[in-house]
Chains A and B, each alone.
Chain A
Amino acid sequence: MGSDHKSSGDRTSNIRKSVDIRMILGRFGLLIGYFVFVIVATILSPRFLTPTNILNIVRQVSIFGILAIGQTFVILTAGIDLSVGAILALVVVITGGLLPDFGIPVAIAAGLLVGTFIGLINGLGVTKGRVPPFVMTLGMLGIARGFAFMYTGGMPIPVLDDRFLFIGNGYILGRVPVPAVIYLGLVIIGALILKYTPFGRYVYAIGSNAEAARLSGIKVDLNKTMVYALCGFTAGIAGILFASQLAVAPPIAGEGYELDAIASVVVGGTDLFGGEGGMFGTFLGSIIIGSLSNILNLTGVSPFVQKSAKGALIIAAVMIKARAERR
């Protein structure tokens, strides 16, 4: 019996070693892939790898990138939030609408509050109402977008406050765009929450096995609700950036952004069934999607082609990951 144990133990550790190599490939494969992409892009256009352009990419990515931060939490719990683009729009028009009469602090606070509140409703619908996340947030997509149109009567609201416009268009240290700073800050905060707080652990645990999480004494419904509220909150931040960056608050803001956000998470390697993945991957996913648009722009490729290229990229990224894991 003793020798049996030893030999099977050795075998297990061999299996483990190969698993480790696979995990490293899985984890850094995306990064390696992106380096290759950067080299090719630099050959195609020397302007690609300049500090200005890189900061540009981060700035362009920042809005759907922030949506993707909240989305990462949701997808890690094995959920999905289709309503983030519509929440963004509602926050855009509310913030834009309140700005002239109530000033910046109230407008921003109201925007964030509305975003968080809608996220909270999503969470309660999913947990207490037992509506599947796909359906709940699909319904909320319609509701929030409808509210945005009702609030503005369908017309865009102009945003004129210069100090407000600084959030989306300003630079600090001369050349670093403010939205890029906000975005990177949120990525880091999100990553820290996932790694260093009990809440982060609960998010992974719930996504990995919700029933085991409940039996381990985790308040599953409460934590899930918080995740959706958090996602609404990040949609609120993205909405404020949007209104500021474009100096206008249209009710059609952020249409289709939910798909860019979900694509970022998925390309970044987070499992759609929950429990595996993380913020760094999502960040890289957003940057890859943004870089692709950027290089296609720089080389003068038609925007119509860009849409198809983006779609193909999403499929390719997931396919490569699935291959790597099966091996």
Chain B
Amino acid sequence: MTESPMLEMKGITKRFPGVLALDSVDFSVAQGEIHALVGENGAGKSTLMKILGGAYQADEGEILLQGESIKIQNPSDGIKAGINVVYQELVLAPHLSVAENIMMGQQPRKRKLSIDWNQTYSRAQDVLDRIGIELDVRKTVKNLSVVQQQIVEIARALQRQSRILILDEPSAVLGKHDIELLYNVIRRLKARGISVIYISHRLEEIFLISDRVTVLKDGRAVGTKLTANLNEDLLVQMMIGHELKNIFQRKSRELGAESIRVDNLSLQGKFEGINLSVHEGEILGIAGLVGSGRTDIARVIAGVEKPTSGTISIYGKRVDLKSPSEALGYGIGLLPEDRNAQGLFLNRPIFENVTISSLFQYVRLGVLNLTQESKQVQALADEIGIRSTGIKQSAKNLSGGNRQKVVLARWLGAQSKLLIFDEPTRGVDVGAKVEIYRLMNALADEGVAIIMISSEMQEILGMSDKIIVLWRGTIAARYTREEATREKLLQAALIGAKNNGK
């Protein structure tokens, strides 16, 4: 490590309404270092990087670039300081050429008036040569593969004299071969003295590519270690920590009738041959990486998408779910992963959000009984513990945990018998997490069947009665609560069924 680090973030604190997202985090990166930033969802990785990139402002703390304090008020400040972020969702102009994207905003001109196309192409080519990539600079970006598009973004950062490059889960959407290509590019950047901050969920790639690792947990920096001094177990221990051991408060339950049974269910290009069943009072955990088909299964069971083949039975009766509205009729409710985009009516009050799926209960002669409705919503809000200034408060002023509770209240109000939680605690602070777990247990106690999809191994292990692990659209492994271990789940999620017997 060099004497004066390339980048130092000191005592960074960031608060959102109801959440302390970052709590006095220290983070430093040396020149030419590949520094992995890891942690569970909601640990604060993205927030920290958004502060560095200028998308957010820290409430407290200081950023030093090569020993000098700098202020990054907006993304263009960040770019000027040589800090570039490549987000998971790419921000390229799809209809323009590779060269235009790389040179964006800085295209060479002829006599200030017209664009110098020869220069544009040759300088873009030059940048690509530096990272050893062969790519036609005249090609339109939308015709490129995902990894090629990522490389165009990296090249653009390089052309802007980037000193620090932040890659936000670049491999999540890539295949194996493409990841190799990405690694090569990253190593070339390192060789040129550029510092790379690499955010990832995949442990094995952290060991493959990074020099040091910093672990964030619940908004705090747990520690920074040389990758060479770490192993997977140590890293996981740092990520999970110990103080959360008893947050699941699980007790054993009597199972009731079979709520749902899925036979040989397939959706073209997403998943294949899925068999599963959930009983009343049972929690089925579905583990697997993003893109393994987890969310697609949830969407088919909730009637959002139609399966290509296979059957779904509710209480032993075969059903053909054509829409979420039919699924609602069978008592199936989905709590989607992206609550803001798919779950909530943000500019509407809480009570409208809650009763939208059960309005018929309050109708007499075609007219809504608003008094009865608000009584019922108030009762639900109290039961679930929605913290607000009242049920007329707009949903957009609620914290992540309370938003999730509003969606949950909706399905409870509709007397759902099967609930599908897709990433139930994503973007939720620890306190609210515990409450959501408590509610899920209480629901199961009352005989509700629950399917829970999660990226958090700890959550899967702590909450599920039985677990299936998906790998590339198929079930790679099934475990009971007693059999399952973190290692088994991770192995099945990462490399599928083949090597799992060992």
CB pair B363 A217 closer than 8 Å: no
CB pair A217 B348 closer than 8 Å: no
CB pair B359 A9 closer than 8 Å: no
Cβ-closest 7 pairs across A and B: A217-B328, A208-B345, A198-B359, A217-B325, A216-B357, A16-B389, A12-B17
B432: nearest chain-A partner, CB-CB = A5
Interface membership of B54, Cβ < 8 A: no
CB pair A209 B345 closer than 8 Å: yes
Residues of B within 8 A of A214 (CB): 304, 323-324
A206: nearest chain-B partner, CB-CB = B345
Interface string of A207-236 (1 = CB under 8 A from B): 011011111111100000000000000000
Q: List 26 A-B contacts (CB under 8 A).
A: A8-B17, A9-B18, A12-B18, A15-B17, A15-B397, A195-B370, A196-B370, A197-B366, A197-B367, A198-B359, A202-B356, A205-B345, A205-B348, A208-B345, A208-B347, A209-B341, A209-B342, A211-B341, A211-B342, A212-B343, A216-B324, A217-B323, A217-B325, A217-B327, A217-B357, A218-B356
CB pair A198 B363 closer than 8 Å: yes
Residues of B within 8 A of A13 (CB): 389
Residues of A within 8 A of B359 (CB): 198, 201
What is the minimal beta-carbon distance from A271 to any residue of chain B, in angstroms?
A: 8
Residues of A within 8 A of B367 (CB): 196-197
Interface membership of A305, Cβ < 8 A: no
Residues of B within 8 A of A218 (CB): 325, 356-357
CB pair A204 B360 closer than 8 Å: no
Interface membership of B336, Cβ < 8 A: yes
What is the minimal beta-carbon distance from A210 to any residue of chain B, in angstroms?
A: 10
Residues of B within 8 A of A324 (CB): none
CB pair B345 A204 closer than 8 Å: yes
What is the minimal beta-carbon distance from A22 to any residue of chain B, in angstroms?
A: 11
Complexed CA–CA distance, A94 and B317 (Å): 53
Partner of A8, one of B18, B334, B342, B363: B18
Interface membership of B15, Cβ < 8 A: yes
CB pair B352 A205 closer than 8 Å: yes
Complexed CA–CA distance, A9 and B342 (Å): 26
CB pair A8 B324 closer than 8 Å: no
CB pair B302 A215 closer than 8 Å: yes
Partner of B368, one of A1, A11, A198, A215: A198
Interface membership of B393, Cβ < 8 A: yes
Q: Which residues of chain B from 203 to 231 have a CB within 8 Å of any chain A CB?
A: none
What is the minimal beta-carbon distance from A70 to any residue of chain B, in angstroms?
A: 20
Residues of B within 8 A of A (CB): 15, 17-20, 302, 304, 323-325, 327-329, 334, 336, 341-348, 352, 355-357, 359-360, 363, 366-368, 370, 387, 389, 393-394, 397, 399, 410, 414, 430-431
Residues of A within 8 A of B345 (CB): 204-205, 208-209, 212-213, 275
Complexed CA–CA distance, A195 and B348 (Å): 13
Number of residues from A at the complex interface, CB < 8 A: 33
Partner of B397, one of A16, A195, A205, A213: A16
Interface membership of A322, Cβ < 8 A: no
Residues of A within 8 A of B410 (CB): 216
Given contacts A196-B368, A208-B348, contact A16 B325 (CB under 8 A): no
Interface membership of A4, Cβ < 8 A: yes
Residues of B within 8 A of A16 (CB): 389, 393, 397
Interface string of A1-45 (1 = CB under 8 A from B): 100110011011101100100000000000000000000000000
Complexed CA–CA distance, A218 and B328 (Å): 9
Complexed CA–CA distance, A70 and B113 (Å): 51
Residues of A within 8 A of B355 (CB): 201
A221: nearest chain-B partner, CB-CB = B323
Complexed CA–CA distance, A13 and B387 (Å): 11
Complexed CA–CA distance, A55 and B304 (Å): 52
Residues of A within 8 A of B397 (CB): 12, 15-16, 19
What is the minimal beta-carbon distance from B353 to any residue of chain A, in angstroms?
A: 8
CB pair A275 B368 closer than 8 Å: no
**Given pairs A196-B370, A198-B359, A205-B352, 8 additional interface contacts (CB within 8 A):** A8-B18, A9-B18, A12-B18, A198-B368, A212-B343, A215-B324, A217-B328, A219-B325
Residues of B within 8 A of A276 (CB): 347
Residues of B within 8 A of A216 (CB): 324, 328, 356-357, 410
Q: Which residues of chain A from 74 to 122 have a CB within 8 Å of any chain B CB?
A: none
Residues of A within 8 A of B341 (CB): 209, 211-212
Residues of B within 8 A of A195 (CB): 368, 370
What is the minimal beta-carbon distance from B368 to any residue of chain A, in angstroms?
A: 5
What is the minimal beta-carbon distance from B90 to any residue of chain A, in angstroms?
A: 22
Complexed CA–CA distance, A37 and B327 (Å): 53
CB pair B15 A8 closer than 8 Å: yes
Residues of A within 8 A of B393 (CB): 16
Residues of A within 8 A of B352 (CB): 201, 204-205
Complexed CA–CA distance, A56 and B341 (Å): 47
CB pair A8 B20 closer than 8 Å: yes
CB pair A205 B325 closer than 8 Å: no
B358: nearest chain-A partner, CB-CB = A217
Residues of A within 8 A of B302 (CB): 215
Residues of A within 8 A of B399 (CB): 12
Complexed CA–CA distance, A201 and B362 (Å): 12
Complexed CA–CA distance, A5 and B370 (Å): 32
CB pair A215 B348 closer than 8 Å: no
B359: nearest chain-A partner, CB-CB = A198
CB pair B356 A1 closer than 8 Å: no
CB pair B325 A212 closer than 8 Å: no
Complexed CA–CA distance, A196 and B373 (Å): 11
B394: nearest chain-A partner, CB-CB = A19
Residues of B within 8 A of A4 (CB): 20
Residues of B within 8 A of A1 (CB): 430-431
CB pair A215 B342 closer than 8 Å: yes
Given contacts A16-B393, A218-B325, contact A198 B431 (CB under 8 A): no
What is the minimal beta-carbon distance from A39 to any residue of chain B, in angstroms?
A: 33
CB pair B304 A205 closer than 8 Å: no
What is the minimal beta-carbon distance from A234 to any residue of chain B, in angstroms?
A: 19
Residues of A within 8 A of B336 (CB): 215
What is the minimal beta-carbon distance from A209 to any residue of chain B, in angstroms?
A: 5
Residues of B within 8 A of A211 (CB): 341-342
What is the minimal beta-carbon distance from A7 to any residue of chain B, in angstroms?
A: 9
CB pair B325 A209 closer than 8 Å: no
A222: nearest chain-B partner, CB-CB = B325
Q: Which residues of chain A from 272 to 296 have a CB within 8 Å of any chain B CB?
A: 275-276
Complexed CA–CA distance, A213 and B346 (Å): 12
CB pair A215 B347 closer than 8 Å: no
CB pair A215 B17 closer than 8 Å: no
CB pair B389 A215 closer than 8 Å: no
What is the minimal beta-carbon distance from A123 to any residue of chain B, in angstroms?
A: 18
Residues of B within 8 A of A201 (CB): 352, 355-356, 359, 368
Residues of B within 8 A of A204 (CB): 345, 348, 352
Given contacts A201-B359, A217-B327, contact A212 B344 (CB under 8 A): yes
